[in-house]
Amino acid sequence: MRIAVDALGGDEAPGEIVSGAVAAARRLPEDEVLLVGDGARVSKHVAERPENLSLRDSGGAIGMEEEPASALRARPDASVAVAARLVRSGEADAVFSAGNTGATVAAALLGIGRLDGCRRPAIATVLPFSSSVLLLDAGATTMCRPQDLLNFAILGGVFAERYFGIERARIGLINVGEETGKGDDLAKESHALIRNSGAVRFVGNVEGRDIGSGVADVLVTDGFTGNVVLKTAEGVSREIFSMLRSAMTSGTASKLAAGILRPRLRGLRDRLDPEQYGGSFLLGVKGSVVIGHGNSRSRGVENALLGISRAGAGLSDALQKALDSANARSTGEAT
């Protein structure tokens, strides 16, 4: 894998971004990491450069508060735009940015392009539960059609099988009830379309209370609902862990018990930490695009790049093949 890293995107850039990229490069000797950013700013954060890490010069970053499309048009040399164009030109297979999410999505769509047959992309993210669950869309497309949700199911299934190393991903549709007739028109029509497509292993509707129960490997919904689910899951997990910490430090006996449980609690904390995965994949574009948290630190960046490597080269080809197969099946049934 050749991974282009937007070294200037994010609250902690470039120091933490560069540090994480260097750490990942050392752990991925077979891959290549390309740091994209202002050479003078980036190079001073690279003390000892691994042989598989190189620098690509660019302009500055798109700010978090800037309007993405306008900023990209005004500054085509922005670091995230240059990183995306490296994928389009074939010099890189993937791009990572912890900067402005809208700018990353726009740069991917404008600079790389959509997969054929995919009207809208989806942000796929791993939810912080004991069992690995992939959620999409987590915010890229808030207004969806049933065909979009079918495409998300197809893309998410292929990605989960590669990323989690599972044989046949189970796909669930987030809804207000398990029954087939539940939900609004989008949910009902999407349920029927996904169920009858034959393109995925569909397990039906999944209620909010069962999202983390392991009934599905992939959960599909529109971007508005998905973003609320993601932020709620992260917030509740953080709050529960905070309550647990308070309870276990409230007295002498509790502190003694906490000392015994500390190794396990650290493991739980690490699993609930968003930086465990480091970023979310934007599925539906011609290349691997990963969006990091705006406050990503070195560990999160490193884990995100490791995740890109784990998903592997050829991800977009596998996604395109799955979409083509589903479209061909649909066309054949229609005729």
Which sign, positive or negative, has the C-alpha torsion 273, 279, 282, 286? negative
Low pLDDT (below 70) residues in the chain: 130, 264-275, 331-335
pLDDT for 35 equals: 95
* Tokens 């739980």 belong to residue: 268
d(CA 237, CA 231) in angstroms, rounded, equals 10
Backbone angles phi, psi at 212, to 5 degrees: -100, 15
Q: Write down the pLDDT at residue 235.
A: 82
pLDDT of residue 294: 87
Spell out a b/e string for 162-201, using b for 16 or more CB atoms within 10 Å of the CB, else e: bbbeeeebbbbbbbeeeeeeebeebbbbbbebbeebebbe
126, 41 Cβ separation under 8 angstroms: no
Nearest one of 12, 1, 8 to 275, comparing CA atoms? 12
pLDDT of residue 267: 64
At the top level of CATH, which class does the domain 1-118+284-335 belong to?
alpha beta
Question: Which residues are 280's β-sheet partners?
Answer: 291
Confidence (pLDDT) at 233 = 83
- pLDDT digit string, tens, across residues 35-84: 999 988 998 898 888 999 999 999 999 988 889 989 999 999 999 999 99
Three-class SS state of 135: strand
| pTM for this prediction | 0.88
Give the residue extent of every domain in the chain: 1-118+284-335
What is the maximum alpha-carbon separation in the chain?
74
What are the pLDDT digits (tens) for 203-232?
999 999 898 888 999 999 999 999 999 888
**Residue 86 backbone dihedrals phi, psi, to 5 degrees:** -65, -35
